[in-house]
C-alpha cells in the first residue's frame, strides 16, 4: 500500500514553519482506496507570499483543526504504507516534525516521484510537478493546493507503475535502498562513487556551479549525513544535482583546502569563512630619529608582518609581554600615544628613548633581541601528515609565521625545512582562518625536532 501525500506550509523550513493543509490518498498499486484532506491551523501567521502562491490565508485556517487534532487519523491511515510524495523529503520532514513536537514519532518507508520519474522517464526538461505533468499530459486541478497536487501525484505514480518494466520502484523501497534519502535531482550512481576517504567535497547545482563546500574524514558518510540530519533545509537538497570531491589523505589539508575553496568559490550555502576575518599584524619601522618602532594594526596587502594575531587583544597582550621582558618603550611600541615621554618613563619603568635620554642604538639592540625571540615563536613550521596513498606524505609549510601552502611528497624523500619543501608545496593564500586552523592543529600535536614523520609536527627553530 502507498500513501500519496501533499502538504502546503507557511514556509520552506520544517523546523520553523508549519503545515497549513494536508491531503493523503491511499493507493493499493492499482487505484485509490481511501483519502483524507483538511486545512490545518498552523498556529502561526501565514506570510503574504505564501497566500499568493496557495490561496490559503489566515482567515481560512482560523477555525481549522490543529495538527494534533488530526494526528491520530493520519497515523492510522498511513500505517504499513510507503510514504509517496513529489520531492518526498519536504513533505515527510514537515509531518515527522509535527509528530516530534507532540512527543511522538512518525516513521515510514519513503518513495520520491521526482527520483523515480528521472529514472523511468529520462530526458525530460524538468521534473517539477507542473512541468512533469505537462510532459506526461496530466492536467493538474487546483494547483498548489494539497488535494489538487496529491491527485496529480497519484496520476504520475500510476504512470510510473505502468512503465516500470525494470522494477525500479520495488528496488527503491527495498530495505537497503538509499533512493528516498538522496536529493531528488542527484543520481544515485554519483553518490555510490563517493569515496570513504578524507578530503573535500563539492555540491553543484543544475548549472554545475558549486553551492556548498565541505570537509570530511569519510566523504561518503559525511555527505549522507547532510541528507538525513533533522536540521537541514530542504531547499538546499533540491538544488543538488552533482557532487565532486578531492581526496586529501590528511585531515589538516582537508581543513586548509576547504577554507581556501570557500573563499574562492563563495558557495551560497556556506556561511562561515567566506570572508577573511580582520587579522592583525605586528609591523616594524625606523622613525626619523632612527628608533626601531613597533606598531600593531590591521593586515595591509603587500606588507609582511612580523607576526599575526586573530584579534587586536591577543596582539596587544603579546606586545605588552615584549615591553615588560625587554624593557621596551610603550610609546615606541604603539601602546601609548604621546608627543613626549611615555607614562612608563614618568614612573621610571622606561629607560627614556622616548624622552631622548637613552641612546637609540642601545634601545634598538633590545628591540632586535625581542624580535629575534618573536621570530623563534612565530617562525618556520613544517608539518607532515598522512598522504593520499601509503607511498606518500602530506606537507604543510609556514615560513616566518606566514602560511605558504601544502603539497605531497614520496615517503623516502627526506625534508627537514620549509625551504627544502618549497619545490613540493603549492602556494595558497595566507589568512587568519588558515592560521587559526594550523595553530589548532599544532596545539593538538606537540612540535617535534628533527625530521617530521607522517602525523608529526616539526617546528624548525
Q: Which fold has domain 2-172?
A: Nucleotidyltransferase; domain 5 (3.30.420)
Does position 241 have pLDDT exceeding 60, yes or no?
yes
| Strand ranges, E, within 250-339 | 280-286, 292-298, 307-309
Does position 31 have pLDDT exceeding 70, yes or no?
yes
How confident is the model over 166-178, as a mean pLDDT?
82
| C-beta of residue 401 within 8 angstroms of C-beta of residue 281 | no
Lowest-confidence pick of 154-158, 166-170, 377-381: 377-381
How confident is the model over 315-328, as a mean pLDDT?
93
- What pLDDT is stored for residue 58 in this prediction? 96
How confident is the model over 57-65, as a mean pLDDT?
96
CA angle 226, 22, 54 (to 5 degrees): 90
Among 323, 344, 430, which residue's Cα sits nearest to residue 381? 430
When the candidates are 3.40.920.10, 3.40.50.1980, 3.40.1440.10, 3.90.1170.50, the CATH number that belongs to 188-265 is 3.40.1440.10
How confident is the model over 62-69, as a mean pLDDT?
96
What's the pLDDT band for 231 if we cut at 50, 70, 90?
A: very low
Exposure letters 63-75 (e unless 16+ CB within 10 A, then b): ebeebeebbeebe
What's the pLDDT band for 461 if we cut at 50, 70, 90?
A: very low
Among 255, 297, 253, which residue's Cα sits nearest to residue 272? 255
What's the pLDDT band for 459 if we cut at 50, 70, 90?
A: very low
- What pLDDT is stored for residue 451 in this prediction? 37
Does position 140 have pLDDT exceeding 60, yes or no?
yes
Angle subtended by helix axes 312-326 and 360-377, to nearest 10 = 130
Q: How far apart are CA 255 and CA 245, in angstroms?
A: 14
How confident is the model over 364-371, as a mean pLDDT?
93
Cell numbers representing residue 405 in the block: 601552502
Which residue shows C-alpha cell 481560512? Answer: 60
Does position 227 have pLDDT exceeding 90, yes or no?
no
- What pLDDT is stored for residue 305 in this prediction? 78
- What pLDDT is stored for residue 278 in this prediction? 53
CA angle 226, 229, 235 (to 5 degrees): 65
- What pLDDT is stored for residue 332 in this prediction? 94
pTM of this structure: 0.63
Does position 249 have pLDDT exceeding 90, yes or no?
yes
Q: Could you tell me which residue, 413 or 431, shows the higher pLDDT?
A: 413
- What pLDDT is stored for residue 377 in this prediction? 59
- What pLDDT is stored for residue 175 in this prediction? 66
Which residue shows C-alpha cell 626619523? Answer: 288
Cell numbers representing residue 247 in the block: 581526496
Q: Could you tell me which residue, 130 or 461, shows the higher pLDDT?
A: 130
What's the pLDDT band for 433 if we cut at 50, 70, 90?
A: confident
| C-beta of residue 206 within 8 angstroms of C-beta of residue 241 | yes
Does position 438 have pLDDT exceeding 90, yes or no?
no
Lowest-confidence pick of 114-123, 214-223, 446-455: 446-455
Kind and range of the H or E element at 38? strand 32-39
- The pLDDT tens digits of the residues spanning 376-386 come to 655 678 898 99
How confident is the model over 9-21, as a mean pLDDT?
92
- The pLDDT tens digits of the residues spanning 250-303 come to 999 999 999 999 999 999 988 776 565 557 888 999 998 899 999 999 877 667
Q: How far apart are CA 413 and CA 411, in angstroms?
A: 6
Listing from the earlier edge strand, what are the strands of the sheet with 307-309? 292-298, 280-286, 307-309
DSSP β-ladder status, 19-27 and 32-39: antiparallel
- What pLDDT is stored for residue 452 in this prediction? 44
Q: Where are the domains of the chain?
A: 2-172, 188-265, 280-377, 381-458
Amino acid at each position: 500500500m502507498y500513501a500519496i501525500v501533499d502538504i502546503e506550509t507557511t514556509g520552506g523550513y520544517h523546523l520553523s514553519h508549519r503545515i497549513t493543509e494536508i491531503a493523503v490518498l491511499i493507493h493499493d498499486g492499482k487505484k485509490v482506496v481511501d483519502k483524507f484532506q483538511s486545512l490545518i491551523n498552523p498556529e502561526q501567521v501565514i506570510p503574504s507570499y505564501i497566500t499568493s502562491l496557495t490561496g490559503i490565508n489566515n482567515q481560512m485556517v482560523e477555525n481549522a483543526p490543529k495538527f494534533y487534532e488530526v494526528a491520530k487519523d493520519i497515523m492510522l491511515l498511513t500505517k504499513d504504507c510507503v510514504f509517496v510524495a513529489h520531492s518526498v523529503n519536504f513533505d515527510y520532514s514537515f509531518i515527522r516534525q509535527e509528530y516530534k513536537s507532540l512527543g511522538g514519532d512518525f516513521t515510514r518507508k519513503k518513495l520520491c516521484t521526482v527520483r523515480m520519474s528521472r529514472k523511468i522517464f529520462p530526458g525530460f526538461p524538468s521534473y517539477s510537478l507542473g512541468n512533469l505533468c505537462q510532459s506526461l499530459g496530466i492536467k493538474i486541478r487546483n494547483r498548489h493546493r494539497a488535494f489538487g497536487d496529491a491527485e496529480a501525484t497519484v496520476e504520475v505514480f500510476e504512470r510510473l507503475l505502468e512503465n516500470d518494466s525494470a522494477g525500479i520502484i520495488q528496488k527503491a523501497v527495498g530495505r537497503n535502498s538509499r533512493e528516498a534519502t538522496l536529493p531528488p535531482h542527484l543520481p544515485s550512481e554519483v553518490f555510490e562513487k563517493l569515496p570513504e576517504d578524507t578530503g573535500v567535497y563539492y555540491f553543484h547545482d543544475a548549472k554545475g556551479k558549486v553551492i556548498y563546500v565541505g570537509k570530511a574524514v569519510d566523504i561518503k558518510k559525511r555527505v549522507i549525513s547532510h541528507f538525513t540530519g533533522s536540521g537541514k533545509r530542504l531547499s538546499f537538497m533540491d538544488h543538488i544535482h552533482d557532487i565532486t570531491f578531492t581526496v586529501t589523505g590528511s585531515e589538516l589539508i582537508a581543513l586548509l583546502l576547504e577554507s581556501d575553496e570557500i573563499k574562492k568559490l563563495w558557495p551560497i550555502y556556506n556561511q562561515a569563512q567566506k570572508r577573511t576575518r580582520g587579522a592583525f599584524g605586528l609591523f616594524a619601522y625606523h622613525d626619523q630619529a632612527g628608533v626601531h618602532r613597533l606598531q600593531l594594526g590591521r593586515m595591509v596587502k603587500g606588507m609582511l608582518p612580523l607576526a599575526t594575531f586573530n584579534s587586536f587583544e591577543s596582539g596587544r597582550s603579546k606586545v605588552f609581554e615584549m615591553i615588560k621582558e625587554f624593557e621596551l618603550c610603550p610609546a615606541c611600541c604603539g601602546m601609548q600615544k604621546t608627543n613626549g615621554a611615555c607614562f612608563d618613563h614618568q614612573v621610571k619603568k622606561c629607560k627614556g628613548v622616548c624622552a631622548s635620554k637613552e641612546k637609540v642604538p642601545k634601545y634598538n639592540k633590545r628591540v632586535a633581541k625581542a624580535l629575534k625571540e618573536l621570530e623563534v615563536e612565530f617562525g618556520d613550521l613544517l608539518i607532515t601528515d598522512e598522504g593520499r596513498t601509503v607511498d606518500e606524505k602530506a606537507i604543510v609549510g609556514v615560513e616566518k609565521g606566514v602560511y605558504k601552502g601544502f603539497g605531497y611528497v614520496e615517503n623516502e624523500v627526506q625534508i627537514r625545512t620549509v625551504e627544502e619543501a618549497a619545490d613540493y608545496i603549492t602556494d595558497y593564500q595566507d589568512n587568519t582562518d588558515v592560521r587559526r586552523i594550523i595553530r589548532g592543529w599544532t596545539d593538538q600535536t606537540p612540535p617535534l625536532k628533527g625530521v617530521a614523520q607522517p602525523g608529526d609536527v616539526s617546528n624548525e627553530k
